[in-house]
Chains A and B, each alone.
Chain A
Amino acid sequence: MRVLVDVSAVPEQPVGAGVYIINLVGALDARAEVELELLARAGDRGRWRQVAPHSRVHARVPEARPLRLAWEQALAPRLARSLGVEVWHGPHYTLPLRYEGPKVVTIHDMTFFEHPEFHERAKVTFFQRMIREAARRASVLVAVSDDTARRVERILAPSVPVVVAPHGVDRSRYRPAADEATVEADMAALEAVGVRPPFLAFVGTLEPRKNIPGLVAAFSRVSRKHKDLHLVIAGREGWGAREVNAAIARSGLADRIHLLGYAEADLLPVLYRRAAAVVYPSHAEGFGLPALEALACGAPLVTSTGTPMAEVAGDAAVLVSPGDDTALADAVEWVLTDEGLAAGLREAGPRVAGRYSWGVCARAHIEAYQLAIGGPG
């Protein structure tokens, strides 16, 4: 099966959707039944060569976003035809609308419709239109969680199948510390970024949807009792990061809050493993990959009810209604003081995370591709 995956939306410092695309492509590349053609940004060839050594990389897409999206619509279909691809996969909301072959598109979340306030206005208009059109023209839709699938069904009422393909986690990297050597290496890695336990960890881009001001408020409540506790925030500044900085300034705890910026992949498992708790209080997510990564590392997790994170974690996390800062502080306090609870969560997390892998994710995509082509099934 010859599949074209448009990987041109993956930024240099991937999070969430970008991590999904890289790992999906890597897992598909290893499968004998799939021949991959990757459509990448010009200048991004090296990375994809490494991610997918058995695939062909077409590094032809312009760098700048408006040009990139225009190129996808105008020129990409001809390239796909000339390569003889059987199915086109747009892994990040968009498709070349005029491409007439079988098409699969991944929808990550429906917040462009449900929570436009969490996005830049220009993006909202574009993505709302694009998602509607893509859903209308795609042969099959991929949703990254049951939660997203339900929202897609409700808002777009698509006439084509919706295949759920949950994200995975690489458990060779995201795992509990098994031995003394790992613990020592972890401590050295933390030392290098100026962090010392005990700390709470948050991983994610600094943007309104992530509810970081709520996290800072909760931290400032628990920090009164836990004088040596720090808060580590790992993520690049998105739009609206100013509010985060203002919240930190207001808290008067700037000396105990570490803004690490974008954390390289090697540092993430260390943060999850060594955190007293990972707190991920997002208002809305399509999947919420940091929550799964934290569970795989055996971190006690506090996250939001009514989100895909709650679905993934089940009983392996403490759930809090997003926006309720007092409840968030109470939940964190509970994890910090109830050793039995924390130990139970540390034990349950890896077990729950075990059913998610990029291999399972790739298999679900192959089913979606077959469905789109009209093959067996």
Chain B
Amino acid sequence: MNQGNDHAVPAGTRVGLHVGQLLQRIPGGIGRYVGILHDGLRRRGVDVISFAAGAAPAGLGAVGPSASSPSAPDTEGYVDLGWPRGGLRYELWHRLRRPALPIEVDLVHAPSLAVPPPGGAPLVVTVHDLAFLRLPQYFTIRGLRFHERGLELARSEAAVVVAPSEFVAGELVAEGFEAARVHVAHHGIDDPGKRSATEVDAVLRRLGVERPFMLFVGTLEPRKGLDTLVEGHRILHRARHEVSLALVGARGWGRLPRLDRPGVVQLGNVPDDDLDALYRAATALAYPSEYEGFGLPALEAMVRGCPVVTSSATSLPEVVGSAGRLVDPSDPEQLATVLTEILDDADLRAILAKAGRARARNFTWDASVNAHLAAYAAAVARVS
């Protein structure tokens, strides 16, 4: 895959970044990525003009060392595209390639498959995964058409495509994208620092979660391997009544297994601080997802020393390396066996915690922003 050679983005390049994902009902991992990328680019002094159809999203946090209050949304440099909003605008973009963007930029970055018409500027598109091609049964017809059309636009219009993993880059190459046009930018993770045991305990009490527990983080939708997860926990729970399963994440769509069962705690979406405490307190992250383009929860767990049990499929082995335990995402017995091993073996937990922390250090947002800058530079160079 092309990693760009170390050309810099020409000084003064204005980057138009579509941040519509932050206005979605469930911004999810992509929303987090867009917010962090936006802030990271600004911190590097890149002239970012963010845009979406709606009021400035709260997810665009503090930016740059000059920002006085780190929690105040930065509305400077944000353009509200106005009506039409939401899905209708995306339909128009994808079908008619209009309305045109009312902004003057040197490059347009679509960080998801909602691909705006770039005008004359070079276009960069981030393709997070090709789950819609590989597991179409987990998508609505509408979702499928939307993603397929977005991918076609990326294929026909993007100067550069960014993938969050080598796995997705390989998927794109297998779909006929030239390797030279595909750049990989891994997601990153910030050092979460230390947190006192009292604070962590207080969060658990408030949420009603008791140790020992296994943690799952992600939108509750079929491709996350919830069938395997819930069945794996049921097997584990038969022998070990004290072990609960805490599910963090908004309910997505689609057929899910029954979740109101003994020992399963549904927490819905929780604030970042609570999630941080859950990772620190969990016996393991149980994340048997069938398909991920990256798998940020695995990284969030590793950086906090939470052992990761995840699936041997798609991008997950690339993210956890040998620092976690890999299982077949269709095998609940195996999941239960591995979770039991971790539960019963304090030495193993310590080894996985240490390996996870070390591995997580390889993934920084700084490196991710660098990779994006290299992708932008390549896009500008390809077109000019």
Contacts and interface: CB of A to CB of B under 8 A. Distances in A.
A54 B174 contact: no
Given A171-B173, A367-B362, A376-B361, A354 B167 contact: yes
Interface string A353-377: 0111101100110010000000011
Interface stretch (B142-150, B203-211, B277-285, B313-321): B313-321
A164 interface: yes
Interface stretch (B1-9, B15-23, B76-84): B1-9
Contact of B318 (A33, A171, A360, A376): A360
B5 A171 contact: no
B167 A355 contact: yes
Contacts of A30: 1-3
Interface in A12-48: 27, 30-33
A376 B171 CA distance: 29
A276 to B, nearest CB: 23
B47 interface: no
A360 B3 contact: no
B1 A359 contact: yes
Contact of B169 (A315, A359, A364): A359
Nearest to A350: B174
B277 to A, nearest CB: 27
A337 interface: no
Interface residues of A, number: 27
Contacts of A171: 170-171, 173-174
A314 interface: yes
Nearest to A169: B170
A354 B166 CA distance: 10
A360 B163 CA distance: 13
Interface string A165-182: 000101110010000000
B166 A377 contact: no
Contacts of B342: none
B6 A359 contact: no
A172 B322 contact: no
Given A32-B6, A54-B5, A355 B314 contact: yes
Contacts of B166: 357, 359-360, 363
Interface residues of B, number: 31
B235 to A, nearest CB: 20
Contacts of A350: 174
A226 interface: no
Interface string A272-295: 000000000000000000000000
Contacts of B134: 351
Contacts of A170: 173
Nearest to B166: A359
Contact of B170 (A31, A164, A357, A367): A357
A376 B358 CA distance: 9
Contact of A355 (B6, B178, B317): B317
Nearest to A376: B361
B179 interface: yes
Nearest to B3: A31
Interface string B106-132: 000000000000000000000000000
Nearest to A175: B174
Contacts of A164: 322
A354 B315 CA distance: 9
A377 B374 contact: no
A168 B173 CA distance: 13
B191 to A, nearest CB: 13
A367 B176 CA distance: 29
Interface string A200-225: 00000000000000000000000000
Contacts of B184: 359
A164 B328 CA distance: 19
Contacts of A54: 5
B294 to A, nearest CB: 13
Interface string B174-191: 101011000010000000
Contacts of B358: 377
B354 to A, nearest CB: 12
Contacts of B173: 170-172
B156 to A, nearest CB: 18
A354 B314 contact: yes
A359 B170 contact: yes
Given A32-B374, A172-B174, A350-B174, A377 B362 contact: yes
A160 to B, nearest CB: 15
B19 to A, nearest CB: 27
A175 B173 CA distance: 10
Contacts of B362: 367, 376-377
B8 to A, nearest CB: 11
Interface in A315-374: 315, 350-351, 354-357, 359-360, 363-364, 367
Nearest to A315: B328
29 contacts: A30-B2, A31-B3, A32-B374, A54-B5, A168-B170, A171-B171, A171-B173, A314-B328, A351-B134, A354-B167, A354-B170, A354-B171, A354-B174, A355-B313, A355-B314, A355-B315, A356-B170, A357-B1, A357-B167, A357-B170, A359-B1, A359-B169, A359-B184, A360-B170, A360-B318, A367-B321, A367-B362, A376-B362, A377-B362
Given A32-B6, A359-B170, A360-B166, 10 more contacts: A54-B5, A171-B174, A314-B312, A350-B174, A351-B313, A354-B174, A355-B317, A357-B166, A357-B170, A360-B170
Which 4 pairs across A and B sit closest by C-beta, in order of nearness?
A: A359-B166, A171-B174, A357-B170, A360-B166
